[in-house]
Amino acid sequence: MLNYFDAVILGIVEGLTEFLPVSSTGHLTIAEKALGLPIDNDAVTAYTAVIQMGAIAAVLLYFFKDIVAIAAGWLGGIVDPAKRGTLDHRMGWYVIAGSIPIGIIGFAAKDLISGPLRSLWVVGAALILWSAVMWWAEKQGTQERGEKKLTLKDALVVGAVQCIALVPGVSRSGATISAGLLRGLDRVTATRLSFFLSIPALTAAGLYELKDVVGSHIGVGETLVGTAVSFVVAYASVAWLLKFVAGHTIVSFVPYRLLLGAGLLALLAGGVMSAT
């Protein structure tokens, strides 16, 4: 069903697009279709979730010092009440609280996500429609608050909006960064929060879907290769994106999203390719 060439291609696509506001799931679905893979197959759907673990490993490595500090601060605040006002302690709770919505909705809507939503019509439409939200977020966002002024409400709102990214084509990072901007966070703070919230969300999804890959026609070697390639490419992507958003708006990605979405819908309407 899926060979090493497919694994490398999908690993590259995952690593490049997971943290850019262009929708990794949408791009993976398109890539799978182009490679001749059945995009509505449970094992293929699970494979794309599993190789996300490589991208998560890249985030863990890139933000290792920050993550250790947050974990230590969170644990320290539980033991010592005097440490509960620190940013690291609060950030630990923010990541936990912000991850609850995606955990609930992702599990409850699993059949919908892996079924009807795995359509290229959905991907094309979502790429176009969410571009308007990204443009609006940049226009309305005041960017007056940095990481030190993050609140629990910010984390809950951004975490809730993360659920919308379960629709292929929306983009998890596009959704969460947009939500952060609309909450008045500066672009770098919104992006860092997006990265931190991705860790529990994508890790849980990858571990849950692993069972559908094990025992399928997709081999262990292909899974490891896809995950490894995803890790290498994602690490470079994370480093680049943080530098990019420091001086550019996320609207920079909108023209690409619009062209890809419109092109995809045109191909589907013309019967050049099928939606599933």
- For the chain, the structural domain boundaries read 4-62+104-269
The pLDDT assigned to 46 comes to 84
Helices and strands in the chain: count of H runs, count of E runs = 13, 0
pLDDT band (50, 70, 90) for residue 31: very high
- For the stretch 114-150, pLDDT in tens is 677 878 999 999 999 999 999 999 999 999 999 999 9
Whole-prediction pTM: 0.91
d(CA 242, CA 238): 6
The pLDDT assigned to 45 comes to 83
pLDDT band (50, 70, 90) for residue 98: very high
Instruction: Please state the rounded mean pLDDT for residues 194-207.
Output: 88
**Angle between the N-to-C axes of helices 4-17 and 52-62, in degrees from 0 to 180, rounded to the nearest 10:** 50
Instruction: Please state the rounded mean pLDDT for residues 74-89.
Output: 90
Neighbours of 201 (CB within 10 A): 25
Compute, in degrees rounded to 10, the torsion defined by CA atoms 121, 122, 125, 129: 180
